Structure 1
Amino acid sequence: MRKKRDSFMAEERYHIDELTGLHSLTGILEHLQGHGEFAACLNTVIIYINVMNFKSFNQRYGFSGGNDFIKGIAMEILGVFPNELVARASGDHFIILSNSLMQNEISERLDKLREIAHKYEKGLVMRIKAGVYLARGDEEDPVVMIDRAKAACDDIIRVYDRDTNFYSDELENRNRLRQYVLDNFETAFNNRYFKVYYQKEVRTLTRNVCGYEALARWMDPEFGIISPGLFIEVLEDVRLVHKLDTYIIEQVCADLRKDIEQGHNVEPVSVNLSRLDFELCDILGEVDKCREKYDIPKYLLNIEITESAVASGADFLGDQIKSFRNAGYEVWMDDFGAGYSSFNNLKSYDFDVVKIDMNFLREFQTNKKSRVILANIVDMAKELGIHTIAEGVETEEQYEFLKRIGCEKLQGFLFGKPEPLNDSGEKATNVGEHCESMEIRNYYDKIGEINLLGNTPLRPKTMEVFNNLPIAILEVDENEMNMLYMNNAYVTFLNTIGIANMEEVNKRLKNVELPDVKGLKDITQKAESSLTSRAEADYIAGGSVVNSKVRFISRQGNKASFALVSRNVTLYSDGHLADSVQAAMAHIFNQYFRVDIFDDEGTVENIFLKGEQIAISDRVKSAEKAVKTYAELYIKKSEIERFISFYDMSTVRDRIKKAGTDYLVDHFHSSSLENAGRMQMYMIMPFYYNNKWKYISCSRYADEMVGTN
């Protein structure tokens, strides 16, 4: 008995993976095919795990780092599946064997494993894909269970948003069909079972047909239509896809030649190329050869390359794309935003058009974020000088939205499904349609370059980031205000009111006496207390009427932040508003019989005068002398001393501060011959202009302020 146990332990040690201490593939097969606890039965569950991106991890951190990662993941698998048999199949592949796990429990544990595994990533995205097979009882050999779990895992390797896959009848049928594709491709190719279907593209502005996409279909006498999603993947796996793509290109050129000769409408056709086309043949040479054989102009063929091909790390594709463009072909990025490094691809490669992936429109109704993303893709593409087309358009609402954001071309079932040529050799979708002439194509392409979402639609594209809306971030800390940020447009706005830069405006904001500073503070308080967190007001700054819109952002203790959008109404308003402001100012002035401007330098200037008084500042520039002269001429003798004291400009701001107002007011009797004894109101209002304090003095008769019946 002891010899038997020792023999079993020795055999177990033989089947242990040295790096992780887990079972090896041979070991787990022994258990599955044996008679012990984990022998195959109707309750058997096989989970096949593949850690994605492990190759990149090894390249960055070396084999030692890779080994540490594998050992860490192995330990976590044992922790999450403590009662199961775990094996390392090879490299970054693991197998879990169980006779007790339920389906919902499997998904929960795998999710837990993925969450724990993040701590080993070291900045790389290491996704854990898992295929699951639940025993059916029809397996002739238990090894088939592992094969099927692996097949379920392999089925989602390229699926971005799916990490767990259960083996199903559908997958089994698909695998059977995959094998059929492998066995019958040459026959299908020789018997011309592959057909070209055309799906039209429409110009958003006109809804006229402006092109087609050529799509391959396998019309099989046994299975009917075989999905391109299946046979293209298989042909890529066996490195035969270039034969299909060159065949489709030749068929497209032949169809275009027939259209030209028969006088049908002719629109550009986009053809899809696989990444492998660039590796397996001289694809540019093949395209040129087909095109020249049928005498097709280059502008009638557009080259589509999927984003996944560009994102696969094949650096040589950049030169290949450049070669196509230099040869006169348009190159389009297909499936933009399908889950790969979209923005990096736009930086690294030159494309004429991006085709926005249909998945954004699939969530158009249920996820409002998709609309924001779509708008930003179009905005970004236009700023980069790249044209846009969206695929998957199925509703009028989607069409109207894409039109509103400026997407130039559209494709989808709303405009027609992919169809073959009709019996007369013409594209069925083209019959009776309004089609865009080639002469007007460039005209609409130029219109398409205008960014309807940008703030500078008339500005030529210079690859500079620019916003002409004056935006600033203001922070209020108790009573102190400070600008944290302002864009170039806001600095330009400040320049119009005599402020040079952010440093100068922050210095100005510390002066709480300034009317415009007080006005800005009032708006922030209104914004924070508002139900909408927004407020708007006009105030005078630098001699101009300024309009500021303020939004409350956040508060932390004494600090509160606000977003500002300001504009100089006087300088940049439309003509009607400017005229209204000027008329209003004239009306305000007309309420007074004189208006004078004093400054801290001791001078005075009369800017408005009506009635019998004289503009004393024409004769005397000194404010002190002018006030004294004016008092002797127009103020009752017993009130002259008080009047001169009232117009002591050196004390005005202190008196205003003490009074808690924005201005000073006093009343004096007139001594002029015409209005002797008549009560007059005098008002002094300080303001800050060109880095100097100035004071506006307004005078009117007190009895004119009383309404009459």
Structure 2
Amino acid sequence: MESEKRYCAAIEQTSGGIYFVDVDSKGILEANTAICNLLGYTQEEFLALTLYDILAVDREIINSDIHLLLAEKQFLLISDGWNRRKDGSLVNVEVSLNLISCGGRKVICVVGRDITERKQAEELLRKSEAANRALLNAIPDLMIRITGDGTYLDAIPAKNFKTWTTHGDMVGKNIYDVLPPEIARQRMYYITQALSTGEMQIYEFELTCEDGKVSYQEARIVVSGENEVLVIVREISDRKQAEATIQYHAFHDILTGLPNRTMFDRHLSTALANAHNSKTMLAVMFLDMDRFKTINDTLGHAVGDRLLQGFAERVKACLRESDIVARWGGDEFTVLVPQITSPEDAAKVGQRILEALKPAFYLQGHATGEETPPLHITSSIGIALYPHDGEDAETLLRNADAALYRAKEHGRNNYRFYKPEMNAQASQLLALENRLHQALERREFDVYYQPQIHINTGEIIGMEALVRWRHPELGLVSPGQFIPLAEENGLIVPIGEWVLRTACAQNKAWQNAGFSPLRVAVNLSPRQFQQPNIASRVALALEETGLDPQYLELEITETTIMQNLDFASEMLRDLQTLGVYISIDDFGTGYSSLGYLKKFPFDKLKIDQSFVRDLKDNPHDIAIISAMITLGHGLNLKVVAEGVETREQLELLRSLQSEEMQGYLFSQPLTAEDATNLLHNPLIKTNIYCSTLCIAYSQNKLLH
């Protein structure tokens, strides 16, 4: 009885579920509390069950297992089975069946253990191992385990690692047997460092692939065990290429491929040091494209970019291999010409650049692939010399920039050497530009009017409107000073619109005062003409002032037209539709193409004063003016000679059949008040000799 009690207590206290089943009836004879709790039954409920109710398998399988147990008279283990709970849910169990004899009856002792947590852990482990295998397969790195003495333990090449083809023959060998001695010693150094310090070691190396290309690798060595390291090798050719690209872009202009400002500064510093040591000269040049902004704004940035590329190619072709051209920014470029012996060497380079730019640029449209109209580009160049104009990079660049602005002042398309007085002039120009921004708002501009004379009748047939700037401190500022500044910074557009409205209003006022109608001529600057809405702006000025369009003359220079023939043609047609008079100004100074004279709707041709100035002493100018007058009359155009200042010029022009003239011989530009008084003077209509009266009037403001 004591033994039975101990036996029952042991069964009751065990953590596993234990119950006894009658072999014949499959009924439950006895069960401990653990199995009842596991399946959710009370003791009484559980004893009312059969083995078929508990095991969640088919009856045939249960009977087969019991038959096997009886036949073999042995222990039977079901390592992964299922028991059915009272609520119908299943629990994963490990079941062992033991055949025992009890009072002549065959009884099966069933021991059931809940293995749900173990199965979950096994599943997590399985997933983790699968994930690790997938990760290893996906890693684009070669992994090698090596001992501290350099013996290869194993190698796991990634599928897309192309450099090494096989590693099976490496396992078990020493690193000195696989690699050349010098390389093996290098690898062992890093392995020893990793083992001794415990820190990861990183190094890069190159490999030559089977196709002859060089592949760049990075190796990382980490301690992976006792006297053992893991070497992770990654191909970094793409990264190396990206780094090289970044390095290139850091020192080169992406658009033109030229060195950028940073790279130019480096070259200049090196060249200055060499020039100092060798006691030689060098030249620094600043150059840009004349009127590039107008082209860029009109034809678009895509065409502007290709023009910059073409410009860069032509400049580069003019230089020696030792010279450097860099894109400084926008349309500005710098040139370094080291190891020269005289200023003439630098002058030759500047002249070569100007000559290289003379042929027109033919550029293809970005979207259509069609060629844009031929573009004629000029450049202004400023030159500073070491050591005469500065001994450091900053001074040389600043002085070359000052020389560039002097080149622009002298009509562009030329080069100028730096002179000390240029910096003072540059400072004055900067101050003048700052004042110019406020001049229009402060009403410091005036419009002057210069009459145009028909020499056969002595009549005033027109007035050219000319803007003047009267600064309260500087006095009357020369148009040659402020108009290029306004053109460059864009202020010429609002200034030009103000002049247009003012001139139209004044002409309307003269008509209202009873004077015979005449035309007022207004210059359209290149920047103003390139505005896409120029026709609508002119129409608005006419509407606001009430002036009939036929009494407005718009003067456009031929260089402005030639910058973009298609655009110019469209704008001129729009202006002609308004009914205004159109004249081509400064004829003969640009391209003088018969083609565009015939194609475009001009009404008047103005001979530039540069031809009239030397008319008496230069027979070539006489021939040129004669040809211009004949050409104009042949195309049914009015022809006006500008800049007539002497009686000799007048007589020569008259002999060449020039009938309309303008210049100081007749009158200097007048204020609106003085121009009104001049219109009151009837003597102007007598004959051409009244020009002396005009001179007297201009000088003395007296009527004779």
> Matched residues in 1 for 2:307 and 2:587: separation?
34
> Matched residues in 2 for 1:151 and 1:311: separation?
29
Report the alpha carbon displacement of residue 42 of structure 1 after superposing the two structures with TM.
Answer: 12
Q: Is the 8 A contact 1:31 1:38 kept in 2?
A: no
What is the number of residues matched between the two proteins?
Answer: 420
Cα deviation per residue 1:551-582 (whole Å; 9 max; x = unaligned)? xxxxxxxxxxxxxxxxxxxxxxxxxxxxxxxx
Q: TM-score, normalised by structure 1?
A: 0.50
Q: What is the aligned counterpart of 1:106 among 326, 336, 346? A: 346
Distance 1:26 1:266, change over 3 A: same
Q: Is the 8 A contact 2:400 2:418 kept in 1?
A: yes
| Greater CA drift, 267-276 or 136-145 | 136-145
Report the alpha carbon displacement of residue 267 of structure 1 after superposing the two structures with TM.
Answer: 3.2
Q: Is the 8 A contact 1:416 1:429 kept in 2?
A: no
> Matched residues in 1 for 2:332 and 2:413: separation?
19
Residue equivalent to 2:320: 78
Q: What is the aligned counterpart of 2:660 among 409, 414, 420? A: 409
Amino acid aligned to 1:30: R
Residue equivalent to 2:577: 326
Q: Is the 8 A contact 1:241 1:276 kept in 2?
A: yes
- Does 2:464 match 1:213? yes
Amino acid aligned to 2:384: Y
Q: What is the aligned counterpart of 2:448 among 169, 194, 197? A: 197
> Matched residues in 1 for 2:413 and 2:308: separation?
25
Q: What is the aligned counterpart of 2:591 among 333, 340, 356? A: 340
Q: Is the 8 A contact 1:419 1:427 kept in 2?
A: no
Residue equivalent to 1:29: 265
Q: Is the 8 A contact 2:375 2:564 kept in 1?
A: no
Residue equivalent to 1:432: 681
Q: Is the 8 A contact 2:641 2:661 kept in 1?
A: yes
Residue equivalent to 1:609: none
Match of 1:77, SS state, is coil
Residue equivalent to 2:550: 299
Residue equivalent to 2:562: 311
> Matched residues in 1 for 2:524 and 2:275: separation?
48
Amino acid aligned to 2:648: E
Q: Is the 8 A contact 1:51 1:126 kept in 2?
A: yes
Residue equivalent to 1:355: 606
Equivalence map 1:358-437=2 (5 Å): 358-422=609-673, 426-427=675-676, 429-430=678-679, 432=681, 434=683
Distance 1:76 1:181, change over 3 A: closer
> Matched residues in 1 for 2:497 and 2:291: separation?
32
> Matched residues in 1 for 2:306 and 2:496: separation?
42
Residue equivalent to 1:47: 285
Report the alpha carbon displacement of residue 385 of structure 1 after superposing the two structures with TM.
Answer: 1.2
Report the alpha carbon displacement of residue 237 of structure 1 after superposing the two structures with TM.
Answer: 2.8
Report the alpha carbon displacement of residue 33 of structure 1 after superposing the two structures with TM.
Answer: 4.8
Distance 1:317 1:370, change over 3 A: same
Amino acid aligned to 1:36: A
> Matched residues in 2 for 1:284 and 1:37: separation?
58
Cα deviation per residue 1:622-663 (whole Å; 9 max; x = unaligned)? xxxxxxxxxxxxxxxxxxxxxxxxxxxxxxxxxxxxxxxxxx
> Matched residues in 1 for 2:306 and 2:560: separation?
31
> Matched residues in 2 for 1:391 and 1:46: separation?
40
Report the alpha carbon displacement of residue 220 of structure 1 after superposing the two structures with TM.
Answer: 0.9
Amino acid aligned to 1:74: K
Distance 1:101 1:195, change over 3 A: farther
Report the alpha carbon displacement of residue 17 of structure 1 after superposing the two structures with TM.
Answer: 8.7
Amino acid aligned to 1:88: A
Report the alpha carbon displacement of residue 332 of structure 1 after superposing the two structures with TM.
Answer: 1.1
Residue equivalent to 2:431: 180
Amino acid aligned to 2:671: P
Q: Is the 8 A contact 1:29 1:143 kept in 2?
A: no
Report the alpha carbon displacement of residue 279 of structure 1 after superposing the two structures with TM.
Answer: 4.7
Q: Is the 8 A contact 1:48 1:96 kept in 2?
A: no
Q: Is the 8 A contact 1:76 1:117 kept in 2?
A: no
Equivalence map 1:131-530=2 (5 Å): 131-134=382-385, 142-153=393-404, 156=407, 162-168=413-419, 171-263=422-514, 267-280=518-531, 282-313=533-564, 315-422=566-673, 426-427=675-676, 429-430=678-679, 432=681, 434=683
> Matched residues in 1 for 2:312 and 2:512: separation?
63
Q: Is the 8 A contact 1:32 1:39 kept in 2?
A: no
Cα deviation per residue 1:8-50 (whole Å; 9 max; x = unaligned)? xxx9999689999986543442354577224699966422355
Report the alpha carbon displacement of residue 331 of structure 1 after superposing the two structures with TM.
Answer: 1.0
Q: What is the aligned counterpart of 2:336 among 96, 99, 118? A: 96
| Greater CA drift, 413-422 or 225-234 | 225-234
Report the alpha carbon displacement of residue 322 of structure 1 after superposing the two structures with TM.
Answer: 2.3
Q: TM-score, normalised by structure 2?
A: 0.50
Report the alpha carbon displacement of residue 219 of structure 1 after superposing the two structures with TM.
Answer: 0.7
> Matched residues in 1 for 2:251 and 2:320: separation?
17
Report the alpha carbon displacement of residue 388 of structure 1 after superposing the two structures with TM.
Answer: 0.7
Q: Is the 8 A contact 1:194 1:219 kept in 2?
A: yes
| Greater CA drift, 207-216 or 291-300 | 291-300
Amino acid aligned to 1:165: R
Percentage of matched positions with identical amino acids = 25
Distance 1:350 1:360, change over 3 A: same
Cα deviation per residue 1:49-86 (whole Å; 9 max; x = unaligned)? 55789999xx999999998996675364217xx6xx53
> Matched residues in 2 for 1:322 and 1:120: separation?
25
Report the alpha carbon displacement of residue 356 of structure 1 after superposing the two structures with TM.
Answer: 1.2
Distance 1:411 1:172, change over 3 A: farther
> Matched residues in 1 for 2:286 and 2:350: separation?
11
Runs of 5+ consecutive residues of structure 1 not aligned to the other structure: 1-10, 438-709
Match of 1:131, SS state, is strand
Report the alpha carbon displacement of residue 251 of structure 1 after superposing the two structures with TM.
Answer: 1.9
Equivalence map 1:10-25=2 (5 Å): 25=261
> Matched residues in 2 for 1:343 and 1:411: separation?
24
Cα deviation per residue 1:340-362 (whole Å; 9 max; x = unaligned)? 35433213311110111111123
Report which of the two structures shows the higher radius of gyration computed on alpha carbons: 2
> Matched residues in 1 for 2:406 and 2:343: separation?
19
Distance 1:265 1:135, change over 3 A: farther
Residue equivalent to 1:649: none
Cα deviation per residue 1:249-277 (whole Å; 9 max; x = unaligned)? 22223333443454556532111122433
Match of 2:606, SS state, is strand
> Matched residues in 1 for 2:304 and 2:677: separation?
57
Distance 1:246 1:375, change over 3 A: same
Q: Is the 8 A contact 2:280 2:340 kept in 1?
A: no
Residue equivalent to 1:637: none
> Matched residues in 1 for 2:389 and 2:576: separation?
55
> Matched residues in 2 for 1:38 and 1:364: separation?
50
| Greater CA drift, 389-398 or 18-27 | 18-27
Report the alpha carbon displacement of residue 427 of structure 1 after superposing the two structures with TM.
Answer: 3.6
Q: CA RMSD in A?
A: 4.7
Report the alpha carbon displacement of residue 377 of structure 1 after superposing the two structures with TM.
Answer: 1.1
Report the alpha carbon displacement of residue 293 of structure 1 after superposing the two structures with TM.
Answer: 3.7
